Structure 1
Amino acid sequence: MLFLRALLGSAMLAASLVAAAPPALADKVSVIDVLGRKVEVEAPVQRVILGEGRQMYFVAALDKDDPFKRVVGWRDDLSKADPDSYKQYLARYPQIAKLPSFGGAKEGAFDIEQAIALKPDVLFLNVEAKVASDEASLVDKLAAVGIPVVYVDFREKPFQNTEPSMRVIGKLFGQETLAEDFIAFRAAEIARVTDRLAKVANLKRPLVMMERAGGYSDDCCMSFGSENFGKMVEIAGGKNFASDLIPGTFGTVNPEAVVAANPDVVIITGGNWGAYVPGGAWVGLGPGTDMVEARRKLAGLAKRPAYSQTKAVKDGRVHAIWHQFYNSPYQFVAIQEIAKWLHPELFKDLDADATLKTLHERFLPLPYEPGYWVSLERK
């Protein structure tokens, strides 16, 4: 991970971004991260480096009144992968424009000197960074200067690792009760779907083609195995087409296989990826989305050979949903909306939009703006 030196300046800049209040007394605590590693950290932590900027999706819930007060550096992915959320944060917390940022683990080596200069109490890394960090001996090198590394995961195996990740971060922030409140809220909202499905005898599960980042490139079709959005489909009462074809969390399926399977429902993940693919065919979902444009783009993706003759298109059951549900603890919102798409009569009273609004009001510092999903209108 290569820090963008031009943005960093000096450690004094990082210090200026931390709350001026005197730090709370810290004690050394032991936590078990999602890789099963026992890590000792001085907690509650006051200075944190986020190895993934989108870890802010949960960090903000723990420090709602001042979400960046502990963050002294972060990866630059939030501004690129979710610029709409980044702009919301920037408007409310303009100091983040000067927050030291860096690239991802897979793109280069971590700048040890800058990490030391930022004087973090802990570095949070996503599990997908482990191979690169191992190759660079990152954990050992940082441990030698007293900087612990804790691995979390909201992406690779979110239904195994989301709750442990939230508990670890909550403990290190001294916000264990708030973390448990979030976990309980998330579980209860998922149960609103699973409890109702459990009461249905001989549940008919629609076959769902779940496309990952449709329109990001000209190729089709990236998808999900039995985890992440693939698991969300199963929890919501569907059958994920790619679960038997993709052994891991992410992979690709052949367009001809999709045609042959003739899915009942097509769901495509979308986001504002102008930083990566300017003018691309992707469906730009996120807070404040232009829904007319999003629907236009979704209609274009539905005309591709993989989908144009499928039952899903003919029946008007083609949808797009915010991609970042795959990398945040907000999966429960996606599960609710997908359940409504798959079983509209069973879940006609379920309002995922209201659930997302409640999430913002209870836990997040940003005002709620709609724009997280779109459907083609039935003909």
Structure 2
Amino acid sequence: MTYRLTALAAAFALLPLTASAEQLTLTDVAGREVTLEAPAERIILGEGRQTYLLAILDRENPFARVVGWRRDLGEADPNTYALYEEKFPQLADIPTFGGFKDGTFDVEQAAALKPDVVLMNLEARTATEDAGYDDKLAKLGIPIVYVDFRENPTVNSIASMRIMGEITGREDRANAYIDFVETQMARVTGTLEKASFERPKVFVDRAGGYSEDCCMTFGPGNFGKYVEIAGGTNIAGDILPSTFGTLNPEQIIAANPDHVVVTGGQWDAYVPGGAWVGMGPGSDMEEARKKLQALTRRTAMTGITAVDTGQFHAIWHQFYDNPYYFVAVQRLATWLHPELFPDLDPEETLKELHKRFLPIDYKPGYWVSLNNE
């Protein structure tokens, strides 16, 4: 067995390097200067949901470069995973890893796959460094590049896309996508800049129904920022010091939000049969509406305006963690200010995103509302 492996390694050593491979030095979203061979042909995904990114750059096969990943996509977003698995069944055979944050990542397993780069989410940096993974991988000549679609998506998503365009040699595709994002965002920001309007108060119920506790939400970042960009006031924006946190029922009742936006997903892998609102491609909208209605009966929603007027909505949770965040901004804008956006159709935007940039077909199921839309 040892001889066969040695012979195989020697054979691979004789293969010529890709002609276009060269050293690339870049600055990642953590502000670190990183040098690697580019275009990277062997990538480890620190999170499976980074597929959202690679699907744009490697539309023909988002998994062609992936030699290992944390297989959270199938648990956090099973509907999307199923669409990709149907078209690219080889993804089921990709080696899987534990997480950097929970200390279950296997450095030796990673090294055996000879990756050109390990792609990590910015939020995992502290845990990665505390566990010494960065030093261990560096000693093996394996660089880590940090990207971010969660901590500060409205800023770092564009930067992350540019970085990944360089790493993969897909700068043209990255730039085309960035142009699309900026154009779609301007359809909201440009209109609001010229308009006179009042900002409705909004409570973003992060993963409402996921647990019996109430209520997780977003501070000034992520969905909280989306609300502000869309012309609303996030009621937790001045209360929570960081992106993620919790409000108690009394705080929500006292704020009396005009709109409630629940983020939802298909989370049977985490909370089987839970009260969460099922969102994502191909979701059952009738079932989602029933579960959304049930969430209006929680103590925290007692007597608030959003329940009385039916301005109670649910939206796909994963908009918080991928480069498609601009679609969520459009959807929020049309909920908060329908009179200002009569011609803005977020669903058409999402369809165009799929048609122009993604390898999977569009399927509805990303939002639902209790109002009369």
Indicate whether the TM-score tops 0.5.
yes
1:376 aligned onto 2:373: no
Count how many residue pairs are aligned between Structure 1 and Structure 2. Answer: 360
Partner residue in 1 for 2:235: 241
Partner residue in 1 for 2:323: 329
Choose from 289, 300, 309 the match for 1:315: 309
1: CA distance, partners of 2:138 / 2:344: 48
1: CA distance, partners of 2:195 / 2:90: 51
Amino acid at match of 1:167: R
Residue 49 of structure 1 aligns to a residue in which SS?
Answer: strand
Partner residue in 2 for 1:14: none
After TM superposition, the score normalised by the length of structure 2 is: 0.94
Percent of aligned pairs sharing the same letter: 58
- Per-residue CA deviation, residues 281-336 of structure 1 (Å, 9 max, x unaligned), is 00010000100000000000111111131100001100000000000010110011
1:207 aligned onto 2:201: yes
Choose from 85, 89, 96 the match for 2:80: 85
Consecutive unaligned residues of structure 1, counting only runs of 5 or more, are: 1-9, 11-20
Partner residue in 1 for 2:143: 148
2: CA distance, partners of 1:279 / 1:151: 35
Partner residue in 1 for 2:356: 362
Partner residue in 2 for 1:281: 275
CA contact 2:227–2:234 (8 Å) conserved in 1:
yes
C-alpha deviation, 1:256, in angstroms: 0.7
Amino acid at match of 2:79: D
Partner residue in 1 for 2:113: 118
Amino acid at match of 2:73: L
Choose from 172, 179, 183 the match for 1:184: 179
> Which stretches of structure 1, 4 residues or more, deviate above 4 A after TM superposition?
21-24
2: CA distance, partners of 1:205 / 1:308: 22
Amino acid at match of 2:233: K
2: CA distance, partners of 1:190 / 1:24: 39
Q: Please list, as runs of the form range in 1=range in 2, the aligned pairs for 1:34-183 lying within 5 A after superposition.
A: 34-183=29-178
Consecutive unaligned residues of structure 2, counting only runs of 5 or more, are: 6-15
- Per-residue CA deviation, residues 121-174 of structure 1 (Å, 9 max, x unaligned), is 000010111121111211111111111000110001112211111111110000
C-alpha deviation, 1:23, in angstroms: 4.2
1:250 aligned onto 2:244: yes
1: CA distance, partners of 2:148 / 2:41: 21
Amino acid at match of 2:202: V
CA contact 1:163–1:183 (8 Å) conserved in 2:
yes
- Per-residue CA deviation, residues 210-264 of structure 1 (Å, 9 max, x unaligned), is 1100011001110001110000000000000000111111000111110011100
After TM superposition, the score normalised by the length of structure 1 is: 0.93
Residue 259 of structure 1 aligns to a residue in which SS?
Answer: helix
CA RMSD of aligned residues (A): 1.6
Residue 23 of structure 2 aligns to a residue in which SS?
Answer: strand
2: CA distance, partners of 1:325 / 1:22: 38
Partner residue in 1 for 2:9: none
Partner residue in 2 for 1:29: 24
